[in-house]
Structure 1
Amino acid sequence: MNPLRKLAGQTAIYGLSTIIGRLLNYFLVPLYTYQFAEPGEFGVVTELYAYTSFLNVILTYGMETALFNFSAKADDKATVYSTALLSVLLSTTLYLALALGQADTLAGLLRHPDRADYVRWVAWIIALDALAALPFAKLREQQKAKRFALLKTTNILVTVAANVFFIGLCKWAYDSGAAGWLAWAAELYDPAVGIGYVFIANLIASGLTLLLLTPELAAAKPRFDVALWRRMLAYALPLLVAGLAGMVNETMDRVLLKYLLPPDIAMEQLGIYGACYKLAVLMSLFIQAFRYAAEPFFFSYYRQREARELYALVMNWFVIACSFIFLGVMLNLDWIQYFVGAKYRAGLGVVPILLMANLWLGVFFNFSIWYKLTEQTRFGTYLTVWGAVVTLALNIHWIPRLGYMGAAWATLACYGSMALLSYVLGRRFYPVRYDLKRIVGYPLLAVGIWQLTERMPALPFWAEFSFDNALLLVIFALVVVLERHRLPGPPPLRPS
């Protein structure tokens, strides 16, 4: 099969589960922002999930990528898998014991002394997700995209169903004083838990997902190769540092908003920013689906003579797709904004900035495959640490002055500078002839078209909706015509 089509097909499968599932999760945002009208309540969820991002990276410490790398080069893939899995199992058990034992202390340090239960639930979620990470990575390494997609979709569907049940039904029944056959639902709802039902729903889904991964867990033989483990750690630990720095880039803005803004508005501003961040979901969904498929794909083809031309071609189509996502969201923001409650819409200005920031994050991922292919993962650390420095410096400078808008601009500056540096370094260590005119040109074209439509006279909603989306289709058709000679891709390659 043509490798580009194979990558597109696997991206579609990963993307189908990720996009459908996360879109369903995205539809929970109206549930949260309308049921909990005060942004400060949603701010607690935004804050705690920001911490989970760091802990998820710490508890997997680069073992997923190490699994791909060492499995691709090993005759005994089973030992590679079992060694990585047993390592993560032990470290996760130690973490969970510590987190549960110190939950009250942690809640006090986070300035939520009355929400120690939230801390316990989040600790369990993190542990269960860490234990599931290696089985999911194994499915990707074996290119079992359909099973991966099924399990991920199940996780999201259960999360959505539990949220709808606890917050949509039980809270509504409680608030409305429902009687009769709905009285049981009102009795199930505890107002003291409140928005903590978000974590309970997630915990139920994570537990079920790990249970469904039992065949992959059971497939690991009781083998632990100490020498191999040390080599895997040497490869993976720079990725851990890079991953932590990456989480600084991705989520530290939500932490700093709480501590750099006046206490009387901090949680409200954090809630607004967290809700509007969700409106950029389509871009992050596409990038996540692409990464699931692309990382093992790039490793499979890196020894082929035409691999670098293939990587450049993948980049072109990736940027085109991201540019259309940006344009599609911005041309439809007039109605998309109603997915968040009225008090949250003050933050809509961050949406185009965050969309473009995520686009350049995806470009960075494409550029940076060189240091993974050449086993120079220390450069991943250097690049993401650079991004973390930019993130911290600009957030500290801009948040007190610009609020959440400063956080959004810092995110764009971070990912843009990381992409540029990775490209420069890649040209030295693993040169690929990327088409820079297209990589820069298509995003600029998307921003330009959006700005032109913003300056057009106001039209009735139906007319503006029809015009904007017809324009989007016309531009899409023109791009397909202009790029059609690139659609077939290079001759088929056999993966190594």
Structure 2
Amino acid sequence: MSTLKNLFKHTFVYGLATILPRLLTVLLTPILTTYLDTEVDFGEVSLLFTYMLLLNVILTYGMETSFFRFYNEEGNSQRALSTALWILCISTLIFVLISFLGLKQIATTTNIDAKYWRWVIGVVAFDTLMVIPFAYMRVQGKALKYTFIKLINVVISVGSVALFLMATQKMTATFSWLSSDKVELYFIAFFMASGLTLLLVSKPYFKRISFDSRLLKKMLFYGWPILLAGIAFAVNGAFDKVLLQWMLPLSEDAAKEQVGIYTACYRLAVGMTLYATAFRLGVEPFFFSQAKEKNASEQYAMITKAFVVLGAVALVLYVVLVDIIKPILVTKPSYWEAMDVVPLILFSFFFFGIYQTLSVWYKVTDKTRYGAYISISGAILTIVINVVFIPSMGYMASAIATCVTYAFMMVLSYVIGKKHMPIPYDLKNICLYLILSVGFSAVFFYILRDYFGIGSLPLYLAGITMTAILIGVIWYKEQALLARILRIRKE
């Protein structure tokens, strides 16, 4: 009981640290869709964030997970902290220097103005330098501090964006010293927030330096597959925006416009993204701490089923309510033409969340290279589907590619994992809940939504009925598991 209770406690706290900031960040979507001049501007913001994601993965090169892995070894804690901190510091400084020397070339290659890249490089550098300090808080169990600082970061960034984009429209004289370019203002706000947050978490940098070259070699060896996996994940989760820019048979501005429209509706799938991310933050340290327990396999199996049970209900509910959420997050109807991608992206992140819980076998057995193999296979599949079908299907090809890729990775991880670390998953019921939730969601959105009409009473009655059926089936089959979860919440 204590194990499950501890897991849900960490999932809740770290979930709060993730969900609240992301919910606040999601509030930027209506601001951006309202105050950015065109869909092309939104497309440029989306492309820059894609590059930021890729750069963050490359610049951390698996060091966060390596830090978790080696911190708990006897006598390694201070050396692991210092080694991880300073190697990331050195490599980040090299990145900044090279990037600014090649700024014009970067702008030419990406077809995005260099003035935006100046701020993006700074944000990426600050974010990289914060990775290990935040990881250090997690291993120390300082969840509240972690959450508080994350919230400060988002409040500053969201508040600055809102001030710059909204207030400057009416008080141009007061803010005449600011750039008139709204996209640039957006990244200036994030630069300010990242810089201030780095100051708040910088205390570990002032600890006694105990850099260990031998330990560094171990950490790099452990982390390189995670780097490859991270790049592959970035390709799977974000690079479709860049591929749309490259592959659409349209002018540069028209392609960026399509990227903006696709990204706005992609963000409507935020609910499942938040759920999967919060769960990952809760279970990742837990996986390592439980690895040597006798009943570790049973605990892992229970955790996976708990994720599927709760996620299945969340998926159907979110699809039923998405047309109510839509005008709140995406204010301009011109963006709504990409609504058909929303269920596919929701399915994608549900599959991705399951994959994350299944990935325990290669993390706790130090076989992280298999994670890289699976992720790279997924990245190849993503690129192939996008390249082949974007010219004819546009952004629907990207949504389908994301969904197919995460489903493939989920299945592949399960199949390979059975050979290396057998875990007694309740496969029969997990598959049942997956089929019911995905099936109900697809029927509701792609069939009943058109048949009954968006926002109609019969449509919502149908949605409520589907949700009730799913909950009924789960309650009938999983009373013991649900009772344990409910008791944990009461405690």
TM-score of the aligned structures, taking structure 1 as reference length = 0.91
Change (3 A) 1:244 1:452: closer
**What is the aligned partner in structure 1 of residue 296 from structure 2?**
307
Residues 137 and 170 of structure 1: is their aligned pair in 2 closer, same or farther, counting only changes over 3 Å?
same
2:47 is matched with: 47
Distance in 2, matches of 1:280 and 1:74, equals 42
Q: Structure 2 matches for 1:342-421, cutoff 5 A?
A: 342-421=333-412
State which of 408, 424, 432 in structure 2 corresponds to 1:433: 424
Q: CA deviation at 1:468?
A: 6.5
- Which amino acid counterpart does residue 184 of structure 1 have in structure 2? T
What's 1:30 paired with? 30
Stretches of structure 1 that go unaligned for 5 or more consecutive residues are 175-182, 491-496
For the 8 Å contact 1:38–1:343, the answer to whether it is kept is no
The whole-number CA distance in structure 2 between the counterparts of 1:260 and 1:213 is 41
- 1:271 matched to 2:269? The reply is no
How far residue 439 of structure 1 moved from its aligned partner, in angstroms, is 2.4
Match of 1:455 among 433, 441, 448: 448
User: Within 5 A, what are the aligned runs for 1:97-112?
Assistant: 97-112=97-112
Deviation, 1:274, is: 1.1
Mapped contact 2:273–2:349 kept (Cα < 8 A): yes
Work out whether 1:73 is the aligned partner of 2:63.
no
Paired with 1:18 and 1:43, the residues of 2 have a C-alpha distance of 24
Deviation at 1:55, TM superposition (A): 0.8
CA drift of 1:143 comes to 2.1
Indicate whether 1:199 and 2:187 are aligned: yes
Amino acid corresponding to residue 261 of structure 1 in structure 2: L
Conserved? CA contact 2:116–2:183, under 8 Å: no
Which piece of structure 1 moves more, 421-430 or 470-479? 470-479
Alpha-carbon deviation of 1:289?
Answer: 1.2
Name the CA shift for 1:403/1:156 in 2 (closer, same or farther; >3 Å).
same
Query: Cα distance 1:271–1:301, how it changes in 2: closer, same or farther (>3 A)?
Result: same
Contact 2:358-2:410 at 8 Å conserved across structures? yes
Among 253, 258, 263, the alignment partner of 2:240 is 253
Contact 1:277 1:351 in 2 (8 A): yes
Alpha-carbon distance in structure 1 between the residues aligned to 2:484 and 2:464? 29
Please, which of 223, 229, 244 is the counterpart of residue 210 of structure 2? 223
Which residue is equivalent to 2:277? 288
**What residue number does 1:131 align with?**
129
Q: What is residue 489 of structure 2 aligned with on the other side?
A: none
Amino acid at match of 2:281: Y
Report the residue type matching 1:406 in the other structure.
Answer: A
CA deviation map 1:228-276 (0-9, x unaligned): 1111111111211121122111112111000001242211111111111
Partner-residue secondary structure (3-state), 1:184: coil
Q: Please give the secondary structure, in 2, of the residue aligned with 1:318.
A: helix
Structure 1 residue 196 displacement after superposition: 1.8
CA distance in 1, matches of 2:396, 2:459: 27
CA drift at 1:188:
4.9
Relative to structure 1, the CA distance from residue 471 to residue 166 in structure 2 (aligned partners, 3 Å threshold; closer, same or farther) is farther
Q: Kindly report which structure 2 residues correspond to 1:170-249, keeping only aligned pairs within 5 A, or say none.
A: 170-174=168-172, 183-185=173-175, 187-191=176-180, 193-218=181-206, 220-249=207-236
The equivalent of 2:17 in structure 1 is: 17
Between the aligned partners of 1:459 and 1:120, the Cα distance in structure 2 is 47
Change (3 A) 1:469 1:263: closer
- Matched residue SS, 2:372: helix
Distance in 2, matches of 1:448 and 1:473, equals 12
Identity within the alignment, %: 35
- Per the alignment, in what secondary structure is the counterpart of residue 332 of structure 1? helix
Correspondence for 2:148: 150
Deviation of 1:10 (Å) = 0.8
The one-letter code matched in structure 1 to 2:478 is E
The count of aligned residue pairs is 477
CA distance 1:75–1:410, change in 2 (3 Å): same
How far off its partner does 1:440 sit? 2.2
Shift of 1:19: 1.1
C-alpha deviation, 1:465, in angstroms: 8.5
Distance 2:129 2:466 in 1: 43
TM-score by length of 2: 0.92
Contact residue 370 and residue 429 of structure 1 kept, 8 A: yes
> Are the counterparts in 2 of residues 327 and 446 from structure 1 also a CA contact under 8 Å?
yes
Aligned Cα root-mean-square deviation (Å): 2.1
Gap regions ≥5 residues in structure 2: 486-491
- Tell me if the contact between 2:32 and 2:42 (Cα under 8 Å) persists in the aligned partners: yes
Contact persistence 2:50–2:238 (CA under 8 A): yes
* SS state at 1:85 partner: helix
Partner amino acid for 1:254? Answer: K
Q: Would you say 1:59 and 2:59 are equivalent positions?
A: yes
Corresponding residue number in structure 2 for 1:96: 96
Deviations 1:443-473 (A, max 9, x none): 3212333345452763794846874775577
SS at match of 1:455: helix
Return the alpha-carbon distance in structure 2 between the equivalents of residues 475 and 213 of structure 1.
Answer: 47
Offset of residue 480 of structure 1? 4.1
Q: Is the 8 A contact 2:70 2:76 kept in 1?
A: no
Higher deviation after alignment, 21-30 or 481-490: 481-490
How far apart are residue 481 of structure 1 and its match?
Answer: 5.5
Matched residue type, 1:216: P
Q: CA 1:224 to 1:190, structure 2 compared with 1: closer, same or farther past 3 Å?
A: closer
How far apart are residue 401 of structure 1 and its match? 1.3
